[in-house]
Amino acid sequence: MAAIGVFDSGVGGISVLREIRALLPHEDLYYLADSRHAPYGPKPESYIVERSVACCEFLLAHEVKAIVVACNTATAAAVKTLRARCTLPIIAMEPGIKPAVAASRNGIIGVLATSGTLSSARFSALLQQYSGAAHIITQPCPGLVEQIEQGELHSPRLQSLLQRYLAPLLEAGVDTIILGCTHYPLVRAQIQALAGPAVQLIDTGPAVARQVQRVLREHHLLAPGEANGVERFWTSGEPAQAHEVLRQLWGEVEVAPMVASPGNAG
């Protein structure tokens, strides 16, 4: 049975991989961290499309049966292109505006995401469709992804970045904050501690895992429920560095370098 392929600009998609693993214990999961090219957030859209296509081609060369774009920024920039190029199911992320509007009591909602996501046409369309009467405050978070990529999950620098980005949202009185980048749930506890217990955090990772299950079921692609699935990890960056970070985020795993196969743009 083929595996499910999952990619992100780096280790952020691990927050989605955790949800997929919890829901689908029998599936093999292949994870590609495009760490050499992280962060995607501040890069031009054309660059993110090019990288997303390369990541998909790499996973296709490993004969995956479906691809999860575990990255809000790559979804916003590239999901249309990926769906036009690939025939297999592609499941993607987007910031949870709809669930946040449903969950908020005072209608004041903050969105933490990358500048790429927040400036995308896809995000504007999402706001238009679902924000209704809610007051939505967007906050880009430069530097945060870089800290997480370095495995600095508890550093003073991470703490001060979080404080800086949460301050305007808390001053505006948000009762709900959307984690609109897959890296951010990896520091969810730190965000919750700064925001306080009255603020609810919205992460679409669990909904995306359920969508993966639904789509695989529709295509009759679910793995038969016997053996436990395995995970394999690749990075376009330094395997030793990825190994170090993944040890904190997932456990002791082997990380292979992303080497493009001939004729495959990697």
State whether the Cα torsion 231-237-243-248 is positive or negative. negative
Query: Pick the catalytic residue: 55, 56, 71, 141?
Result: 71
CB 134 → ligand DGL: shortest distance, Å?
22
CB 220 → ligand DGL: shortest distance, Å?
30
CB 40 → ligand DGL: shortest distance, Å?
4
How is 45-111 classified by DSSP, letter by letter?
A: HHHHHHHHHHHHHHHHHTT-SEEEE--HHHHHHHHHHHHHH--S-EEE----HHHHHHH-SSSEEEE
Cα–Cα distance measured from residue 48 to residue 182, given in angstroms and rounded to the nearest whole number: 16
Per-residue buried b or exposed e for 123-137, using 16+ beta carbons within 10 Å of the residue's own CB: beebbeebbeebebe
CA distances from residue 31 to 20, 56, 65, 118, 265 in whole angstroms, order as listed: 12, 11, 13, 25, 18
Q: Give 3 or 113: the residue with its C-beta nearer to ligand DGL.
A: 113
181 has catalytic annotation: yes
CB 198 → ligand DGL: shortest distance, Å?
26
Cα–Cα distance measured from residue 50 to residue 265, given in angstroms and rounded to the nearest whole number: 9
- Residues engaged in binding ligand DGL (CB under 6 A): 8-9, 12, 38-41, 71-73, 114, 117, 145, 181-183
Q: Give 45 or 175: the residue with its C-beta nearer to ligand DGL.
A: 45
Specify the length of the chain in residues: 266
71 has catalytic annotation: yes
Strand 231-235 versus strand 255-257 pairing type: parallel
CB 8 → ligand DGL: shortest distance, Å?
5
CA distances from residue 148 to 35, 69, 184, 225 in whole angstroms, order as listed: 11, 19, 9, 34
CB 119 → ligand DGL: shortest distance, Å?
12
Q: Where are the alpha helices (DSSP H) in the chain?
A: 14-23, 45-61, 72-85, 97-103, 115-118, 121-130, 144-149, 156-171, 188-195, 205-218, 239-249
Query: Pick the catalytic residue: 55, 56, 141, 181?
Result: 181
Tokens 């001053």, located at residue? 171
Known catalytic residues? 71, 181
